[in-house]
Chains A and B, each alone.
Chain A
Amino acid sequence: MDTSTVKIILQILHYLFFGYAFAAITSYIILSIISGKETIEYLKKNSFVNYKDILSSTMSPSITIIAPAYNESLNVVENVRSLLSNHYVNYNVIIINDGSSDNSLEKLIEAYDLEKIDFIINEKIKTQPLRTGVFKSKNPAFEKLMVVDKKNGGKADALNMGLNISKSKYVACIDVDCLLLEDALQKMIKPFLEVTNAKVIAAGGVIRIANSCIIRGGKLIDVNLPKKLLVQSQILEYLRAFLLGRMAWSRLNGLLVISGAFGIFDKETAIAVGGYDTQTVGEDMEIVVRMRRYMEEKNEKYRVSYIPDPLCWTEAPDNYKIFVSQRNRWTRGTIETLKKHRKIGFNRNYGSFGMLSYPYWFIFERLAPIIEAVGIVYFVILIILKEVRWEYALSFLLLAYIFSVLFSIIALYSEELTYHQYKKKGTGYKLVLLTALEPFVLHPFILYAAIKGNYDYYFNKKKKWGVMQRKGLTSV
């Protein structure tokens, strides 16, 4: 290759990277505008809603909370108490003890006065069998609680067991260690009951980070900003993702993922598609994509809704090792889901789902870390070859950085003008400072985890969930 050919190739690569970055930034701007509109509309719609009738009505539809638990003995009793204190009449809680090797079951039996009952399971979805059986409380105060002890099959398998057992019309699938606010169910069920021109198949909620928050008797008492920079950065990241990203996709009816930490599903549809996929580590995204695909193929009008109220609080990883492991799994889950449902991508038969949501997810979520990593390698090569035109490089790096800071500040705005959770004096400064630091303290690790996730997906097939060590939320 002569010099001019190399130069042409370099030129093409420059334009490709530039074009990708420009498209990404444009998409973020568009999404944040849509999100702003949707947030305003949501707040208007909910400014006069009286939830009292719904929560106290026995005519409200039944909801089953399904919470898989695996070796959660540290907090399981307290967490179940939080689940049982929801302000909604027509609901029950099924805890699936997924073959725990610790004493979770014994603790639950003791705390809730459980006894084994005769129970027959309609195995609409194949799961691992029961281990010791099904338990209900002898104490009427805990009549809403059922504990199912089964052989270990993973989170998806446990959720499927819950789907088989539930007799409710809707199921709320949550992580047992999440703190669910008392009004969570009544707010989450609203879109299912309100929308009349389409079937709402699922609704997702915002996940907030509970590290350093004060919790008493299963209730959130005080919201604090954690001390660790890693956790603080994740708060900012979640605000961006939930308040700007998912809110916009909700308006476009293009949500592809509902966090596994908390989501409500139409049980009939979830069972019709075969429940959760036990072969993927991204079962929360996969089931939403499969349900949407099912509705598209049936040619039925549907919606996946999203509630921006801070209803579910969870513990975020507070060290880089666990954080990387979590993001690695998220990456593999995304790859698996997009690959499994690749038929949808750029397929007009799936409408905006195939022509907008899937391509966006593929280009700006699936490919983003790869393109970024290739870009970094390419930049290093250019430095070695002394081909970098520094005036261009620096000005565009600075522009990208300033844009990311501004985007985070807009997310903070959205938070302040809507839910204003971090009220304490001095927190505002920290959050603003964080917008400047986050690209250095969080983003490189997200990129690393995503690249590792790609590597593990293709070359380390044995890798599954990984371990998420919980320290437990701050209870007083």
Chain B
Amino acid sequence: MATYQYLIDYFNESPLLIKLAWGVSSALSVAIVILTLYLKLIRATLRKRDAESAKFRKDYEATLIEYLYSGSENGTINDLQLTIIEKLKASVPIKSKRKIIISILYNLMNEVSGEMSDSIQTLYYKTGLYDYALARLKNKNWYIIAKGIGELTRFKIEEAHDLVEPFIMHPRHEVRKETQLYMVNMFRFKGLTFLDDLKAPLSEWAQVQLLETLQKFDDQQICDIKPWLKSKNETVVLFALKLAKIYNQFEVKDTLIELLSHPIKEVRVSVIEALTSLYGIEAKEMLKANFNELSLEEQISFFGLLEKLVVPSDEPFIEKHLFHKNFEIQLLALKILKSINLDKFMGLSKSPKSKGSKRIIKFVNNI
């Protein structure tokens, strides 16, 4: 008691700064104790949740597989399947369980096709998961909306089109991207119509995902990409150039040649690359004539085009650049010369030149 009183007196008589330091220390100590206890609680909860999730996953994986394999040929739902649906329906309102069911269904969806895939979709509707996904679209948080759209995409829910489409103009690029993926997953090339008036940039991440999605379909009948090549949005043009390359769009060659004078260098370089893969021989003379006005990246790309489309009459042009100051151009020029005039190339090794050039000639000679 005396000690306690001494401490109280000491504190009361201390200067303000010391009082403040002790006060803050005490408050922080209390915070440490509370946080430590809460940390213990969090860890215990996480461990418990992990264990429960593992148990639930194991149980429901078996149930869902049973549901899939007990289906009748005519597609009607039998009693066993109805029981399973009821069982799942009871779990769906619980967020953690719903999450697990969705993840199992999605994994199964990736492994099956045809009737079984339809069966999973039916289950998705019947258990009420579809309604939860739609409810997400009405959420005020952008990431919940994005999750909802992503889920509808994975389960190929075309019916949600009217509800999803408005998000194509959403201010968050993540939501826009999920919507774009939804459109393409549901409607293939027709789903790309959002590109017609896309003002916001289409990230490379989104472009790769869209291209991968398109390549999954058996029907590779592509729509007209010319309007996108003429888009004012440079990222749309870059995306259309990738489409032109992948889907061998020979009919857009003229538009590509027009794009060689696009104000953005990255586009011009991609155009040359696209022309290379589309055997754009028509562009060769034009690029040769303007070679000195091209940026270094364009010049390198053009030599890439020449490597593929070279003819003997290009030799004088190639000769001019045999000792270009850029390594890549010099290497490509020497390789091309070797392919069209071996004697002339062999003659180069005898004439005097810089050490660097000798090294490249020796290398090209060996390949």
Binding site for B on A (CB under 8 A): 44-45, 47-48, 50, 53-54, 56-57, 59-61, 118-120, 122, 124, 190, 192-197, 391-392, 395-396, 398-399, 402-403, 405-406, 409-410, 412-413, 416-417, 420, 423, 425, 428, 432
- Cα–Cα distance between A392 and B359 once the two chains are bound (Å): 73
Q: How far is the CA of A398 from the CA of B242 in the complex (A)?
A: 63
Interchain Cβ contacts under 8 Å between A and B, 19 examples? A47-B147, A48-B178, A50-B150, A53-B212, A53-B213, A54-B205, A59-B207, A60-B208, A61-B204, A120-B331, A193-B205, A194-B205, A395-B22, A395-B25, A396-B21, A410-B35, A417-B42, A423-B46, A432-B39
| Smallest CB separation, A227 vs chain B (Å) | 20
- Are A59 and B147 interface neighbours, CB within 8 A? no
Q: Which of B168-210 contact A (CB under 8 A)?
A: 173-174, 178, 201, 203-205, 207-209
Chain B minimum-CB-distance residue to A191: B205
Q: Do A48 and B150 touch across chains, with their CB atoms under 8 A apart?
A: yes
- Chain A residues with Cβ below 8 Å from B22 are 395
Complexed CA–CA distance, A118 and B211 (Å): 36
B28 within 8 A of A: yes
How many Å from the CB of A164 to the closest CB on chain B? 10
User: 19 more A-B contacts (CB under 8 A) besides A196-B203, A416-B43, A425-B47?
Assistant: A44-B143, A48-B147, A48-B178, A54-B209, A56-B212, A118-B366, A120-B360, A194-B203, A195-B203, A395-B18, A395-B22, A395-B25, A402-B29, A406-B31, A406-B32, A413-B35, A416-B42, A428-B40, A432-B36
Q: Are A416 and B46 in contact (CB under 8 A)?
A: yes
Known: A53-B212, A391-B14, A409-B32. A120 touches B359 (CB 8 A): yes
Q: How far is B174's CA from A396's CA once the two chains are assembled, in angstroms?
A: 48
Residues in A with CB closer than 8 Å to B56 are none
Nearest residue, chain B, Cβ from A44 = B143
Are A59's CB and B25's CB within 8 A?
A: no
Partner of B47, one of A48, A396, A417, A423: A423
Whether A402 lies near B25 (C-beta < 8 A) is yes
Are A122 and B328 in contact, with the CB atoms below 8 A? yes
Which of chain B's residues have a CB closer than 8 A to the CB of A196? 173, 201, 203, 235
Seen from chain B, the residues whose Cβ lies within 8 Å of a Cβ on chain A are 14, 17-18, 21-22, 24-25, 28-29, 31-32, 35-36, 39-40, 42-43, 46-47, 50, 141, 143, 146-147, 150, 173-174, 178, 201, 203-205, 207-209, 211-213, 235, 242, 246, 327-328, 331, 359-360, 363, 366-367
Q: Let me know if B367 and A398 touch, CB within 8 A.
A: no
Closest chain B residue, CB of each to CB of A425: B47
Residues of B within 8 A of A413 (CB): 35, 39, 42
The answer for the CA separation of A416 and B22 in the assembled complex, in Å, is 30
> Which of A399, A410, A420 is in CB contact (< 8 Å) with B24?
A399
Nearest neighbor of A395 in chain B, beta-carbon distance: B21
A234 to chain B, nearest CB (A): 20
Complex interface: chain A residues within 8 A of B21 (CB): 392, 395-396, 398-399
Contacting A118 at CB < 8 Å: which of B24, B327, B367? B367
A54/B143 contact (C-beta < 8 A), A120-B360, A425-B47 known = no
Which residue from chain A places its CB closest to the CB of B110 in the assembled complex? A52
Contact across chains for B28 and A48 when beta carbons are under 8 A apart = no
10 nearest interchain CB pairs? A196-B201, A193-B205, A395-B21, A53-B212, A120-B363, A193-B204, A44-B143, A122-B327, A48-B147, A194-B205
Residue among A48, A392, A432 with max Cβ neighbours from chain B (10 Å): A48
For the A-B complex, the count of residue pairs with Cβ-Cβ distances under 8 Å equals: 113
* B208 in complex: contacting residue of A59, A412, A416, CB < 8 Å: A59
Taking CB as reference atom, which chain B residue is nearest A415?
Answer: B39
Q: Which residue of A lies closest to B178 (CB)?
A: A48
Give the shortest distance, in Å, between B225 (CB) and chain A (any CB). Answer: 16
Known: A120-B360, A194-B203, A416-B46. A398 touches B327 (CB 8 A): no
The distance in angstroms between the C-alpha atoms of A396 and B25, with both chains bound, is 9
Q: How far is the CA of A462 from the CA of B14 in the complex (A)?
A: 53
Question: A124: shortest Cβ distance to chain B, in Å?
Answer: 8
- B227 to chain A: closest CB distance in Å? 21
Chain A residue contacts of B18, Cβ below 8 A: 391-392, 395
CA distance A9 to B41 in the complex (A): 51
Residues of B within 8 A of A403 (CB): 28
Using CB atoms, name the residue of chain A closest to B149: A48
State the Cβ distance, A237 to closest chain B Cβ, in Å: 18
Query: Given A395-B25, A402-B28, A423-B47, does the pair A118, B205 have CB atoms closer than 8 Å?
Result: no
The docked-state distance in angstroms from the alpha carbon of A77 to that of B329 is 37
Residues in A with CB closer than 8 Å to B31 are 406
Give complex CA distance A195, B206 in Å: 11
Task: Establish whether residues B35 and A48, one from each chain, have CB atoms under 8 Å apart when the complex forms.
Answer: no
B147 and A57 within 8 A (CB):
no
Q: In the assembly, what is the distance between CA of A206 and CA of B331, in Å? A: 40
Residue of A53, A54, A406 contacting most chain B CB atoms (<10 Å): A53
State whether B360 touches A53 (Cβ < 8 A). Answer: no
Chain A hits for B360, CB < 8 A? 120
Question: What is the bound-complex CA distance between A61 and B203, given in angstroms?
Answer: 13
Contact A423 B50 (CB under 8 A): yes
Cα-based distance from A428 to B41 in the complex (angstroms): 10
Q: With A and B bound together, what is the CA distance between A409 and B18 in angstroms? A: 25
Q: Which residue of A lies closest to B213 (CB)?
A: A53
Alpha-carbon distance between A351 and B18 when the two chains are bound, in angstroms: 40
A409-B36 contact in complex given A118-B367, A423-B50, C-beta closer than 8 Å? yes
- B209 vs chain A, min Cβ distance (A): 5
The interface centre, meaning the residue of B18, B39, B141, B146 with most chain A CB atoms within 10 A of its CB, is B39
What B residues does A122 contact at CB under 8 A? 327-328, 331
Expressed in whole angstroms, the minimum distance between the Cβ of A409 and any Cβ of chain B is 5
Complex contacts, A391 vs chain B, CB 8 Å: 14, 18
When C-beta atoms are compared, the residue in chain B nearest to A428 turns out to be B43
- Asked if B25 and A398 sit within 8 Å, CB to CB, the answer is yes
Closest chain B residue, CB of each to CB of A408: B32
B39 touches A428 (CB 8 A): yes
Complex Cα distance, B43 from A56, in Å, reads 35
Q: A48-B178, A59-B242, A406-B31 are in contact. Are A420 and B363 (CB under 8 A)?
A: no
The residue of chain A having its C-beta at the shortest distance from the C-beta of B148 within the complex is A48
Please, how many angstroms separate the alpha-carbon atoms of A398 and B21 in the complex? 9
Residues of B within 8 A of A50 (CB): 150, 209
Contacts A48-B150, A118-B366, A122-B328 given: A193-B143 contact, CB under 8 Å?
Answer: no
Residue pair B211, A59 in contact (C-beta under 8 Å): yes
When distances are taken between beta carbons in the complex, the residues of chain B under 8 Å from A119 are 363
Report B-chain residues with C-beta under 8 Å of the C-beta of A54. Answer: 205, 208-209, 212
Contact A409 B211, beta carbon cutoff 8 Å = no
Q: Is the CB of A48 within 8 A of B143?
A: yes
Q: How far is the CA of A425 from the CA of B21 in the complex (A)?
A: 36
Q: Whole-angstrom distance from the CB of A28 to the nearest CB of chain B?
A: 13
Closest Cβ of chain B to A259, distance in Å, is 24
The residue in B173, B204, B367 that gathers the most chain A C-beta atoms within 10 A of its C-beta is: B204
Select from chain A the residue with minimum beta-carbon distance to B43: A428
A57 contacts across to B, CB distance below 8 A? 208-209, 211-212
A402 cross-chain contacts in B, Cβ below 8 A: 25, 28-29, 32
Cα–Cα, bound, A476→B172 (Å): 46
CA distance A124 to B296 in the complex (A): 15
Complex CA distance for A124 and B18, rounded to whole angstroms: 62
Shortest beta-carbon distance from B19 to chain A in Å: 9
- Please indicate the chain B residues that have their CB under 8 angstroms from the CB of A194 in the complex: 173, 203-205
B257 to chain A, nearest CB (A): 24
What separation, in Å, do the CA atoms of A425 and B44 have in the docked complex? Answer: 8
In the assembled complex, the Cα of A406 lies from the Cα of B31 at a distance in Å of 8
A417, B46: Cα distance in complex, Å: 9
- Contacting residues, chain B, for A416 (C-beta < 8 A): 39, 42-43, 46
